[in-house]
Structure 1
């Protein structure tokens, strides 16, 4: 859906083709922002055509401000998007205000710090990511689209619809790689599943060529344990949402993350979640009520946190219900859209974003 440049007041650039957490965030957030009344359009590759977008040629027309504003906001989420904004504002003198959303859970490189210092405003997606910023910022946590991720509602949402063995399903979603902790999940399943015959484990996610050896080694471990029929690699599924609903327990074992939306997607699907404390996970999960949080990279702690759910599926069901209520109260995407709208209003009015 191509948008009018004259009516576009906020540009959300997306300059990487590869699917990432930033991609998922933009796909869910932009429609909510439009519903809220903000004239946001994306620009760049790697996003679905149905999102409101500008052609790349619009980059050469940003000297003209939008119809009803003195300036336009450039909302970047990566270095590759901050830099063009700086060039357009400072060298080409386009009427732009630059906003950066930071999700990084580490000290930024000197180059990234240089770029961030030149932003007009900065948002952090979690308190933890904000702790690594050296500039004033506002914390606005990501939300989840509760119309896209929702509780089980039909027979297709039951595990029985999968044709897989067992009565309960445990899953780990995301690209198969060391950073995502896939090996920690596999090791936990190898240790636990022989004791809990009613459970089957699935992994949904792509194995890229550079991580093929890692994936092959995991499959070899599973085969050696005699669990190839109960720990299954489904690959990159066309629609992951029904798989969230079929799970009794979701596991997010990442060693490091930016923010990490999958626990919110799971809880919005009424699924209990065990996660590491990477990214913002510890700020999303209520430990002991909606799931459990363990230290990132600690395979033993992950296994110990998962086992009570396998031993007591009723616990998983109860924490799934709690998680759904928690997400609906605190993480509806409309809350994120409203908070960002406040930031935009301050930038349009040339007011400080952080008091």
Structure 2
């Protein structure tokens, strides 16, 4: 069915609109996909835009004029933007077309905003920051609501050896992983170089790189594979590509490395810890607010190969400490970062704006 066509939702019942104006899968898109089903159980919410699964409640483009009318039993709808283009659309709908909307923006950026972004942010009715670091870059009042993790999807394996075997991996090997887009920004090269340094003296360990290299980064990926071939480690540093069932790959790991040079928030450490896997991570994004340094993993300076090799090697060589860190990581995530908690806090913001 073509985008924008189809029956759509009952707009009288829609209290919140979650626009997604980017077709390619991104962290923002993933957030919407995870949150909306939970929120839909408590509040009338619909998505708008391409690139989203059919199972989500969706407005169609032909239903946009319905936003000019109030929802049943309410004075306003909430328009929850997560990108500039979505903020702009909300401002046009409210300020130009006089739609009865309250505008919310979630920011994950950790840099000084450009003048145009500041202009849009100042026109929001509520602003949410995904971390304290992000909040420090905002020049308007905001509320920090950190991302949560789906604990039904990400959890430790019932049987670690079986989890590896199900993926075609060697159950006798211990695996360290690095998951995400394969590109310089994500530090995939730092991870590969660390593995080339560490694995020859640790025959019981192998490494997994999971993620997609887009067309512009295919050369980068090819160069990394050449380094691995030259080191004669192609059978132990595995490039497994992109997987929609990435949770299964986390359950095969005993250690995770998040080597990013830059990150907005970064969910991979939470996904790993929810799977019972300790994390070595660079101090970027929200990582310092997710990981308890020394307890659930180790924070290292960004773009520091020596620090990565040292920290990763220590965890690889310390099985009792890894087991304790696994238990500590599970406790931390389950108590502090459940996805249901994030969904509930957002609904509280929506209801406050509507006087509820």
The TM-score with structure 1 as length reference comes to 0.95
What corresponds to 1:353 in structure 2?
none
Whole-Å Cα distance in 2 between the matches of residues 316 and 287 of structure 1? 13
What corresponds to 2:268 in structure 1?
262
1:249 paired residue among 234, 252, 255: 255
> In the comparison of the two structures, how many residue pairs are matched?
349
Q: Deviations over 1:62-117 (max 9, x none)?
A: 11111111010000000011010000000001000000000001111111111111
Whole-Å Cα distance in 2 between the matches of residues 139 and 238 of structure 1? 29
8 Å Cα contact 2:160-2:252 kept in structure 1: no
Whole-Å Cα distance in 1 between the matches of residues 161 and 29 of structure 2? 27
1:97 partnered with 2:105: no
Compute the displacement of 1:312 (Å).
1.9
8 Å Cα contact 1:250-1:266 kept in structure 2: yes
8 Å Cα contact 1:79-1:115 kept in structure 2: yes
1:291 paired residue among 288, 294, 297: 297
1:67 partnered with 2:91: no
What corresponds to 2:3 in structure 1?
none
1:48 paired residue among 46, 53, 61: 53
What corresponds to 1:341 in structure 2?
347
Whole-Å Cα distance in 1 between the matches of residues 52 and 330 of structure 2? 28
Structure 2 stretches lacking a partner, 5+ long? 1-6
Structure 1 stretches lacking a partner, 5+ long? 351-355
What corresponds to 1:221 in structure 2?
227
8 Å Cα contact 2:269-2:290 kept in structure 1: yes
8 Å Cα contact 2:8-2:63 kept in structure 1: no
What corresponds to 1:182 in structure 2?
188
Compute the displacement of 1:157 (Å).
5.0
8 Å Cα contact 1:105-1:128 kept in structure 2: yes
What corresponds to 2:9 in structure 1?
3
Whole-Å Cα distance in 2 between the matches of residues 75 and 52 of structure 1? 15
Compute the displacement of 1:277 (Å).
1.3
What corresponds to 1:193 in structure 2?
199
The TM-score with structure 2 as length reference comes to 0.95
1:321 paired residue among 322, 327, 340: 327
1:140 partnered with 2:156: no
1:79 partnered with 2:99: no
Q: Deviations over 1:211-261 (max 9, x none)?
A: 111111111111111111111110112411110111001111111111111
Whole-Å Cα distance in 1 between the matches of residues 202 and 173 of structure 2? 10
8 Å Cα contact 1:248-1:313 kept in structure 2: no
8 Å Cα contact 1:170-1:200 kept in structure 2: yes
Whole-Å Cα distance in 2 between the matches of residues 51 and 77 of structure 1? 18
8 Å Cα contact 2:128-2:144 kept in structure 1: yes
**Change over 3 Å in CA distance of 1:60–1:147 after alignment to 2:** same
Whole-Å Cα distance in 2 between the matches of residues 182 and 124 of structure 1? 27
Q: Deviations over 1:301-351 (max 9, x none)?
A: 11111111211233222211211111000000111112112211221129x
Whole-Å Cα distance in 2 between the matches of residues 308 and 322 of structure 1? 18
What corresponds to 1:17 in structure 2?
23
Q: Aligned-residue CA RMSD in angstroms? A: 1.5
Whole-Å Cα distance in 2 between the matches of residues 339 and 257 of structure 1? 23
The one of the two structures with greater contact order (alpha-carbon pairs below 8 A, sep at least 6) is 1
What corresponds to 2:4 in structure 1?
none
